[in-house]
Amino acid sequence: MTEVKKELTPEEEKLTIRDISIAAEAQTKQGDTFYLITQSWWQEWLEYVNQNQANTAIDGSVSEHCLGDSSALKRPSSIDNSDLIYEATSGDSSMGIELHDTLVEGTNYILLPEEVWNQLYEWYRGGPILPRKVINSGLSQTELAVEVYPLRLQLHLMPKDQCSTIRISKKETIRQLHKKACEIFSLNPELVCIWDYFSHQKHALMNDMDKTLDDANIQMDQDILVEVANGNSAGGVNSFHENGTADNGTVALVKPSQSDISNAEGLSLSKGSSRNGTAELLQSQQLASSGTDKTYGSSGVSTRGSSCGLTGLLNLGNTCFMNSAIQCLVHTPEFARYFREDYYQEINRQNPLGMVGELALAFGDLLRKLWAPGRTPVAPRPFKGKLARFAPQFSGYNQHDSQELLAFLLDGLHEDLNRVKHKPYIKSKDADGRPDEEVADEYWANHIARNDSIIVDVCQGQYKSTLVCPVCNKVSVTFDPFMYLSLPLQSATTRSMTVTIFTCDGSALPVACTVTVPKQGRCRDLIQALSNSCSLKHNEKLLLAEIRGHLIHRFLEDPLISLSSIKDDDHLAAYKIPKLTKNSKFLQLIHRREEREIGISQSNVGWKPYGTPLVSPICCDDIVTRGDIQLIVHRMLSPMLRTENPGFNCVSRCKTAASANSSRLAASSEACIDSSLANDDPRQKDVPSSKLVNLEKLPLQLVDENNACIDLTVGEDKSVKLSSSSMSILVFADWSQKLLENYDTRYIENLPEVTKYGPATKKARIEPLSLYSCLEAFLREEPLVPEDMWYCPTCKERRQASKKLDLWRLPEVLVIHLKRFSYSRSMKHKLETFVNFPIHDFDLTKYVANRNSSRRQLYELYALTNHYGGMGSGHYTAHIKLLDENRWYNFDDSHISPINEEDVKSAAAYVLFYRRVKTDHHHSVSNGTVSSAGQHSILSRK
């Protein structure tokens, strides 16, 4: 131990490191160096420096050691990072040091700023030293991240057929890669060019020397071709064998330049950021830390009597979404048989929609390893690398949606294995009254003429789509293929909606009204339900409006507007107005409340909208004065007037005067004069506008056609010029504190949401939701959303048609996606609804519209993915039935365990995989399916 070590107490060491850490991390920037240190040593040091008190540790965690005699905890020995690296590379030189492939930050190691590491190293020494650089990452390249694993690339020298493995940052330029390749193979740089050699194919010449490897889309474990112009320019390569391997397994580590940063696919976020779902990696560490990527290259150790298909997948960092989907696909019997046989002849490298066969080859290679004897977990790193190349949305190590990945894989595998090399152009014909069977077979034959693969054989079905124009009743029928069904979890045919009802004549206070309407109904259904609930008079109607930000966002005047366009967190208001509104406009009363900051004088008062706007019709046949608008507003606000305030005009006088003069302004005096005023003195009906002097003038401002504000508290007899182009008249009511004391404005302050989510809503469902109910909701007729309006060939216009789906042709394997994730403007949430799905005898016979098929449509569940947790994080697993054993297993990344069949059902079920139950007539082709995946002629699918 050095002299410094003896001088510092544990408390002094802790404070020293804390101060250095705070200063260093506050100034972290691109290019800074962080150092890996093993979690076990760091935890030992934390316990040592915190042994006298249960203080919060430097990293924010609380030390969990038992407090006792300080002599019980000795000073840690030298730093030992050997558990982070492979033993074969633990030499003195850092050039050859290789980390275990599946290390997890916070579990296996932590990252220390350079200043913190230097201080600890001065005190304790040890090693090996593992520096890593900070880079800019993320979509905007503005997030700071420490990259633990630089790119590992395989350099292939041609024509010498020699190989070398290097580590290099993908923030390095192609120039740096070219330079290092020439140094490793002792080549003349002027005679060397390098190629993107992805999957041993020349994809692109890497001649843009200033482009980074990241921009060039170079992935982990990718091949790079080093091509020499002539064979005499290479030298110094005697240490390489003819098969391309190097003596002693040498791996060259390319150091980054001072301006760039070492890189890897696995990012460790610094400055308080964290990796989502890292807890899910804990279980794989014991398996992963003792092995290398050789687990991927070998078939495992054969165990006599062991079952195949029980091999797990290592989690590479938030890759559980990928692992669960892959396990379900590789345990689909038709796919397992197909990819374990000779499928290479069907690879379509010419398809511009495919991935030159690379995705199919990577999937087939991974499937074979998962079905090999033995149970050594497989690291799917090569597969993920190719996935990232062709689908950049799944690159990196963030959590993704398992169903979205599954959809990409099915579509990508289909295009890579499409037996159709040249797709013909086929124009679909409308049904035009022809029999459905004829039209369906025609559509299917056209589809097969362009799409013919194992994926189509196994997973694709066909549904009937019927569109009806709401104007001319034109019916359009098409038959479209599907790969999977996405079913909604809301099975109810009705929907509860809450709307607040306002009157325009001051006859009643606002009241929230909850009604039940058809879930896929229109605005006319909502208005009818509200009219019945609020006892609407025969000469009244409701004007429906959506309120946002205390303003009217839109009037829902079109009765055909779909209720599905109204979100659960929207706010709706309905205004009672007279039916007869000829030559009238709508006065919108916008409430504003004063806001002042501390220290600001009374003269600098700011006004901000609040509450809910009120609406009243105003007749434009006569001249409208400022006093007229004052009276209309008085009438609208009169129900909220506090009767206990003697200093303000009484309610009855306000109602009488306001009703008297404004009766001539209303579009229909019969509708605007409330029955509550029927007993008022009829002589009051001719009160002139000068009677406004008996009422307190309200602080109102009218917005004229030039967007200027007119003060309505003065010049009550002056006429108001109304805009001829707008149907609305905007008036601001500025509520001072004094005015708020005279009115009870709580009735207009907070509108309820259309549908309020809460515990009561969740408890409302007593019976579990059935998968059949979800299917029925999916097949139910509903109007198209406004964004997807249909072009009617008869009307020659886009129409919001109603759409009806029917199942027509079912596949051998039916994939069902339960739509658990819901989005709205202000939130996104996951539905934890339990769906009661059948494991055996899932009978779809009655849901198939093709009545010419006498075959029962029975399915049996054999696999499903589960999602636990919330949006953006959580954890995926798979439940899979090994058909040979007739037993269910839980596939949780690398961990596999048997489960009981009754435990398969849970509220976490996300994607279900059903397989057709073979019957005595399983060779029948009457419904367009065949039992063998190999039968793929057009006739066999009619």
Lookup: tokens for 876: 């995926």
HEC string of 792-816 equals: ECCCCEEECCEEEEEEEECCCEEEE
- Which pLDDT belongs to residue 510? 87
CATH number where 131 lies: 3.30.2230.10
Task: Say if residues 202 and 166 touch (Cβ distance below 8 Å).
Answer: no
160 and 131 part of one domain: no
- Contacts of residues 270-275 at CB distance under 8 Å and 24 or more positions apart, as own/partner, are 270/25, 270/28, 270/34, 270/111, 270/134, 270/144, 270/145, 270/146, 271/25, 271/28, 271/144, 273/143, 273/145, 275/105, 275/317, 275/318, 275/397
> Is the backbone peptide bond immediately before 128 cis, with ω within 30 degrees of 0?
yes
Q: Give the active site residue among 178, 400, 571, 875.
A: 875
213 and 113 part of one domain: no
- Which pLDDT belongs to residue 143? 65
SS3 of 76, please? coil
Number of domains the chain is built from: 4
Helix (H) / strand (E) containing 652:
helix 651-662
CA atoms within 13 A on the CB side of 631: 29
In the chain, which stretches have pLDDT less than 50?
Answer: 1-5, 54-71, 89-95, 139-140, 231-306, 491, 600-601, 646-647, 649-693, 759-766, 825-827, 921-942
Residue 421 exposed, middle or buried by CB count within 10 Å (0-12, 13-18, 19+) = exposed
337 and 486 part of one domain: yes
Which residues constitute the domain of residue 7?
1-51+78-83+96-147
Task: Say if residues 416 and 355 touch (Cβ distance below 8 Å).
Answer: yes
Q: Give the active site residue among 156, 163, 178, 320.
A: 320
- Integer Cα distance of 791 and 752 in angstroms: 37
Task: Say if residues 808 and 480 touch (Cβ distance below 8 Å).
Answer: no
Residue ending a domain, choose from 207, 228, 249: 228
163 and 118 part of one domain: no
**867 counts as catalytic:** no
CATH number where 717 lies: 3.10.20.90
Residue 712 exposed, middle or buried by CB count within 10 Å (0-12, 13-18, 19+) = buried
Task: Say if residues 379 and 301 touch (Cβ distance below 8 Å).
Answer: no
- Which pLDDT belongs to residue 851? 77
How many Cβ atoms from other residues are within 10 Å of residue 302's Cβ? 10
pTM value is: 0.49
Unique residue bearing structure tokens 């000829």: 582
Asked if the structure places residue 268 within a domain, the reply is no
- Integer Cα distance of 58 and 358 in angstroms: 47
Asked if the structure places residue 750 within a domain, the reply is no
**875 counts as catalytic:** yes
Asked if the structure places residue 635 within a domain, the reply is yes
Asked if the structure places residue 255 within a domain, the reply is no
* CA geometry: angle 673, 677, 678, nearest 5 deg: 95
Asked if the structure places residue 816 within a domain, the reply is yes
Burial letters 660-671, b for 16+ CB under 10 A, else e: bbbbebbbbbeb
Asked if the structure places residue 289 within a domain, the reply is no
Q: Identify the DSSP state of 148.
A: -
725 and 814 part of one domain: no
Query: Per this entry, what is the length of the chain?
Result: 942
Task: Say if residues 613 and 591 touch (Cβ distance below 8 Å).
Answer: yes
- Integer Cα distance of 233 and 211 in angstroms: 26
- Which pLDDT belongs to residue 137? 66
341 and 472 part of one domain: yes
Name the residue among 653, 659, 656, 664 with its Cα closest to residue 618: 664
User: Phi first, then psi: what are they for 819, rounded to 5°?
Assistant: -80, 85
457 and 587 part of one domain: no
Residue ending a domain, choose from 197, 228, 259: 228
Asked if the structure places residue 280 within a domain, the reply is no
738 and 604 part of one domain: yes
pLDDT tens digits, one per residue of 33-76? 899 998 889 888 888 888 765 444 444 444 444 334 444 578 88
Unique residue bearing structure tokens 């298909």: 309
Lookup: tokens for 782: 């509903």
Asked if the structure places residue 325 within a domain, the reply is yes
Residue ending a domain, choose from 208, 228, 248: 228
214 and 347 part of one domain: no
Lookup: tokens for 889: 């297993």
What's the alpha-carbon Rg for the chain, to the nearest Å? 37
How many Cβ atoms from other residues are within 10 Å of residue 190's Cβ? 8
378 and 509 part of one domain: no
- Which pLDDT belongs to residue 873? 66
537 and 624 part of one domain: yes
Q: Which DSSP string corresponds to 656-719? A: HHHHHHHTTTSS-HHHHS-GGGTTS-GGGGG--GGGGGGSPPP-EEEE-TTS-EEETTS-TTSB
431 and 526 part of one domain: no
Chain centroid to CA 722:
48
CATH number where 327 lies: 3.90.70.10
How many Cβ atoms from other residues are within 10 Å of residue 28's Cβ? 16
